[in-house]
A and B are shown apart, each in its own frame.
Chain A
């Protein structure tokens, strides 16, 4: 019974982790989500692709609302060398993160 309870708890934890979408797909709504700024669809998609490929080489992905809009550019910048990110790659990742945050609010 104890083992079964542990399995149920573990299963619930996995389901809850999986149901949280850490990197939602790019939508057209995201391209205009930031006030006064338009980011093209291709840049956001590239940002998402780079985020899920490069960042997980060292760590798992945090929830995007864990850090503030102001903090994200500095956070990505601090790890860009390690992740072999060129300036355009870095900008695409930051654009995607900020667009997701703006679209969700």
Chain B
């Protein structure tokens, strides 16, 4: 799973931006997930078709954080989204 670098949003997932957050609804399980502001930014980059390296590059240009931290956090979030069935490998 750690090697996955390209992503697709699962077809059974709806996303809605509210305030600074994104709420995901998994229609298969009728389960809701919330993404904070950074998670929402990553989701939008995935939606734009960006791969893991491109997402990390974009975040590095936008956030005051080390590249190493951003790469670790992005990998963790995308792995979790894949584990929950919200994303899959492109």
A is bound by B = no
